[in-house]
Amino acid sequence: MCVYETGKGGQMLEVYYQVLDGQHGDLDINFKVIDPKNVTLLTDKKSSENSIIMDLEMDGDYAFCMDNTYSMMNSKLVFLYVLVEDKHGATRSDVEAKTTESADSGDVEKDAEGDEAEPKEVLEWQGTDENGESYYLEVGKIADSLSSTLAHVVKSRHLLSIYSAAKSRDSYLAFEDTFIVDVWSGIQISLMFVVGMLQVYMIKKLFSRNYLGYKDIY
């Protein structure tokens, strides 16, 4: 079974998988990551879980394949988390950094390559502090703050998903152990019941025989 996710060169790929339930078999599986050119980037043999982080080098659909053909009797339940995101590059101030050079006609804004940059409109939000004085705040900074908050929320959701998967795995293991204990307890109780009934039957047969007196024996 394979799951596909589209990625672009320069992005970061994060993959996490964990075998939650293996019925009565081992909690392991074969896992592969394959690029758009059908080249295997990573292979795990009979692994129960792994966390993978890598940089993508090309655009296309990446395949994440799970193989359980070596297990003939038991199916596996696997939690798979795939995240493709842009790298955290330079900040807004770094990207839009400009150098100001003094000229005869005044200050001229230039970009990082030294070319003259076009004037850019800056949106500001006006507010009033507790002293009644007005202050101004760039909308771009608010957008950066919201983007940072969103990134932290996504990361928190990712961690909660992994925690939920680990908790589910513990639940499946507890259920499997409980099932084994219940089966063996049932077998032992049934065996004790059969042995007890057999003992009662043998004792009853022993005392139900006709009494032979002294004269009958001799």
How confident is the model over 179-208, as pLDDT tens digits?
888 888 999 999 999 999 999 888 888 877
d(CA 161, CA 155): 10
Half-sphere exposure of 112 (CA within 13 A, CB side): 5
Give residue for tokens 């990207």: 95
Taking the domains of the chain in order of start, what are their residue ranges?
Answer: 2-87, 97-143, 144-218
Summarize pLDDT for 125-173 with one digit per residue, the tens.
677 777 777 777 777 777 777 888 887 887 787 778 777 777 777 777 7
* Residue 48: φ, ψ to 5°: -85, -30
Q: Which numeric CATH code is attached to 2-87?
A: 2.60.120
d(CA 30, CA 45): 5
